[in-house]
Structure 1
Amino acid sequence: MDREQEEMQFLSLFSVFTESFKIVSSWRKIFTQITLTLILPLSFIYLLHIEVTNLLLHKIFYNAQEMSNTPLGSPRYEKLSDLLSSEWATFWLFKIFYFTLLLIFSLLSTSAVVYTVASIYTARDFTFHKVMSVVPKVWKRLMVTFLCVFAAFFAYHIVAFLVVFIWAVTIGIQSGGIAILVIIAILFFAGFVYLTLIWQLASVVSVLEESYGVQAMLKSRELIKGKMGLAIVIFLLLNVAFILIQVLFKVVVVHGWRLGSVDRTAYAILCFFLLSVFFLFGLVIQTVLYFVCKSYHHENIDKSALSDHLEAYLGEYVPLKARDVQLEQYHV
């Protein structure tokens, strides 16, 4: 990262993507190693989950339909009932296993990429072995932040459910009711995007600063002020790309629709590759956005202090002090 801290605040949307591409292309070896070790398994787990979920639900719905056409209390009905219960148990056990692996590899990938980008920013020497030795220590802090964010999302959805419930029992679909529901949906989506942005930036804060958990979320909320528009556009563009990859995989690989003469295996490999690239660049862009927000708020990061604290990860963990990353402000 060859830009000075003061210049980062002026990066546009295109410049953020360009900077991220330069970082990855200039350090291809280390990012390739991270991708092969952490991001490829993450992509494989995600795509496999889509395929397995589709198979399990297909069997469940088929047996449920068969049971609905079977006389109640008959031996076949009881057999289908037991089979359906077993399939639902398998489905939920698979979901738990999937979400556990997804969370682990997501946090490990975030730890590795954010630490690597910060090391590049400070121009310090590092190796893949050093990065991987740091990951388990950073992972613990990210887990605390994730749990706090999860609690915030859970509370947010509870409130949204209550609002919709109140709308249903007081207004409903009578005159003007649909318009109010649309407004509620728009506000819900806006709040969901905002919380997601807070989560993404809080993940970087948890790695590079002394804050984690609720403190990282509060710090993230302050950092994103003034760069909200840029963050939202990045979020929307990345999610459009993510949705397109999912749709391609579901339509061609899962449901078997043919697009030209290319077979499903080739499309599965293509989606696997695209998703891996998406995850890698998404995490790099997320870290670059952090430096943009720090620069915008004139919170100059002392590179030598940041380098020292990154090095401290290799020994006993010493978190970044607020004075190193927050209180040394510059004036443009």
Structure 2
Amino acid sequence: MDREQEEMQFLGLFGIYLDWAPVDTRRYQKLSDAMLSERIYFWLFKIAYFTFLLIFSLLSTSAVVYTIASIYTAREVTFRKVMSVVPRVWKRLMVTFLCAFATFFLYHIVAGVILFMWLITIADTSVAGPVAFIIFLILYAIGFVYLSVVWQLGSVVTVLEESYGFRAMIKSKNLIKGKMWIAIIIFFKLNLSLLVIQYVFEIFVVNGWSISALGRLGLGILCLFLLFKLFLFGLVIQTVIYFVCKSYHHENINKSALSDHLEVYVGEYERLKPKDVQLEQAHV
């Protein structure tokens, strides 16, 4: 507590914890090392968590999309066959994910530059500043949702077609035309359900509001189960949207050709050319 009153306004979270101990003492150094260690563990846990989430997402996407497409083409689906397909598909999905990540990264850089220009130009004005900021937030949200929908449909394109990476994203962008509002509504409904599950978990499990320890455990397991169900349901919906968009653009899918394309993943057929999988566009 050797700081002047004017300096205390700049103390952050960890600064408040450390300020009670005299500087350059053994207690201060020990507490500082403990705080640093905790932060390192926290970020390592975050990295491991997001790595696991990414791997699980890619594996689940490949398995669910392949299963739904197999059902659509009346192919026999077994757990062993699905598991043999996953290692062959996830590499293509990883490329598509990296391309989507690069797109989002560039999008946020552009948004950051625009926000910086707003800060140094009209942020202090009484009317134009707030209005421009609200318009910026609306446009940013629209762009973010649009890119998210294109990326999700692009993952389905990666599994069911020869395209992957940026080509899958472009194909997805063309397919989603005409069904964008339906895809956006589904996107918001799924994410709203996710927020509800997270809110229930936070209030009743983490904070333990008016509930016993056993009840918190049971509710936590229920929330985890609902989260998995919601995630898998979202993957199924993405695959269905793909077939709906193909139908909307009169791009008929030959079930036999698609079935042969799916067999490539289990090594029973030679890889087909794109024109064999993607049939001609039927104009009505």
Q: TM-score, normalising length from structure 2?
A: 0.90
Q: Which protein is bigger by CA-based radius of gyration? A: 2
Taking a change above 3 Å as real, the CA distance of residues 242 and 216 of structure 1, as seen in their structure-2 partners, is same
- Mapped to 2, the partners of 1:148 and 1:177 lie a distance apart of 34
What is the letter of the counterpart of residue 153 of structure 1? F
Q: CA deviation at 1:70?
A: 2.2
Q: How does 1:214-253 map to 2 (within 5 A)?
A: 214-253=166-205
Q: How many Å separate the matches in 2 of 1:201 and 1:120? A: 19
Moved more, 251-260 or 113-122: 251-260
**1:264-320, CA deviations, whole angstroms, 9 ceiling, x for partnerless residues?**
112101101111110111110010000001111111111000001111111178556
User: Contact between 2:64 and 2:236, CA under 8 Å: does it hold in 1?
Assistant: yes
The Cα offsets for residues 40-96 of structure 1, whole Å up to 9 and x where unpaired, read as xxxxxxxxxxxxxxxxxxxxx976532022222222211111111111111111111
How many angstroms apart in 1 are the aligned matches of 2:229 and 2:272?
30
Aligned-pair RMSD on alpha carbons? 1.9
Q: 1:126 to 1:101 in 2, by over 3 A?
A: same
Cα shift readout 1:120-142 (whole Å, capped 9, x = no counterpart): 00001121100000001000100
The amino acid across from 2:202 in the alignment is K
Alignment length, in residue pairs? Answer: 272
Q: Contact 1:70–1:77 at 8 Å: present in 2 too? A: yes
Question: In the alignment, residue 322 of structure 1 is paired with which amino acid?
Answer: P
Maintained 8 Å contact 1:299/1:325: no
Letter matched to residue 258 of structure 1:
S
Which residue matches 2:234? 282
CA 1:193 to 1:87, structure 2 compared with 1: closer, same or farther past 3 Å?
Answer: same
Structure 1 residues 1-332: aligned runs within 5 Å: 64-175=15-126, 176-258=128-210, 263-315=215-267, 321-332=273-284
- The Cα of 1:323 is off from its aligned counterpart by 2.1
5+ unaligned residues in a row in structure 2: which ranges?
A: 1-11
CA shift in 2, pair 1:133/1:177, >3 Å? same
**TM-superposed deviation, 1:219:** 0.5
- C-alpha distance in 1 between matches for 2:129 and 2:67: 51
Q: What is the distance in 1 between the residues matched to 2:105 and 2:269?
A: 31
**C-alpha distance in 1, partners of 2:269/2:91?**
11
Which structure has the higher relative contact order (CA within 8 Å, separation 6+)? 1
CA deviations on 1:185-207 (whole Å, 9 max, x unpaired) are: 11001000000001100000000
Matched-pair identity in % = 63
Give me the TM-score of the superposition, normalised by structure 1. Answer: 0.78
